[in-house]
A and B are shown apart, each in its own frame.
Chain A
Amino acid sequence: MDVGERLTDQNFPESPEKATLEGKNKFLGFWLFLGGETVLFATLFGTYLGLRNSFGKGPEASEIFQLPMVFAATIILLTSSLTSVYAVLALKENRVKQMRRWFFITLLLGLSFLGLEIYEFVEYVHEGHTFTSGAFGSAFYTLVGFHGGHVLFGCLWITALLVRNSGRGLTLYNAPKYYLFALYWHFVDVVWVFIFTVVYLMGKVG
Chain B
Amino acid sequence: MASNEQPNSVHHHSSLQKKIKLKQERRQHNVSFVMMILLTIVAFAAIASDAISNSVAVLFIIVLAGVQVFFQLYIWMHLGHKGHEFPMWGIASGLLIALITVGTLVGLIW
Contact = CB atoms under 8 A, between A and B. Distances in A.
A10 B6 CA distance: 17
20 contacts: A3-B4, A3-B5, A19-B9, A31-B86, A31-B87, A32-B90, A38-B95, A38-B97, A38-B98, A42-B98, A50-B110, A71-B44, A81-B76, A82-B33, A86-B29, A186-B72, A197-B43, A198-B62, A201-B47, A205-B58
B48 A67 contact: yes
B72 A31 contact: no
B51 interface: no
B105 A43 contact: yes
Contact of A89 (B5, B29, B44, B92): B29
B71 to A, nearest CB: 10
A34 B91 contact: yes
Interface string B11-54: 11101001000100110010001001100100110011000001
Interface residues of B, number: 60
Nearest to A41: B98
A194 interface: yes
Interface residues of A, number: 62
Nearest to B73: A190
B28 to A, nearest CB: 10
A156 interface: no
Contacts of A145: none
A18 interface: yes
A39 B101 contact: yes
Interface string B42-85: 01100110000010011001101100110011001100000110
Nearest to A29: B90
A183 B77 contact: yes
A67 B44 contact: yes
Interface string B96-110: 011101111110111
